[in-house]
Amino acid sequence: MNNHKSLIRIRMSAHDAHYGGNLVDGAKMLQLFGDVATELLIRHDGDEGLFCAYDKVEFLAPVFAGDYIEATGEIVSVGNSSRKMVFEAQKVIVPRTDISASAADLLEEPVVVCRASGTCVVPKSFQRK
């Protein structure tokens, strides 16, 4: 597997819903991106490193409890200790409570719900690869 890409898939739960109508807080997408970044750093450097800053975040579509989200990330630039990354979160499955309490649809076309880019750092003394 390429050490510069990572993907996680997670179902948003009722616990993740923060607003009326079971809307999930956008910060949850950033939490997922943080987990993706951690995996990328472990694969690349053998260390979890630290997330320094996002330089761009775009919330593009709402996320609701019951949605399945795929969060992906990729290292696009490597400095001495910095790692520039880009992230994308897509909704791939949605609940269909209008049909029944347990109905769901796999989306033919995933819906991009969030994109971001940022920089992580792994101090030189912590890099093992």
Which CATH number fits the domain 5-126, given the four candidates 3.10.129.10, 3.30.450.20, 3.40.718.10, 3.40.50.720?
3.10.129.10
Q: Strand ranges (DSSP E) for 1-129?
A: 5-11, 17-19, 23-24, 50-59, 68-78, 82-95, 104-121
Domain residue ranges of the chain, discontinuous segments joined by +: 5-126
pLDDT tens-digit map of 76-124: 999 999 999 999 999 999 999 999 999 999 999 999 999 999 999 999 9
Contact (Cβ atoms closer than 8 angstroms) between residue 113 and residue 69? yes
Backbone phi, then psi, for 40, in 5-degree steps?
Answer: -60, -45
pLDDT tens-digit map of 65-86: 999 999 999 999 999 999 999 9
> Which has the closest alpha carbon to 92: 78, 75, 112, 77?
112
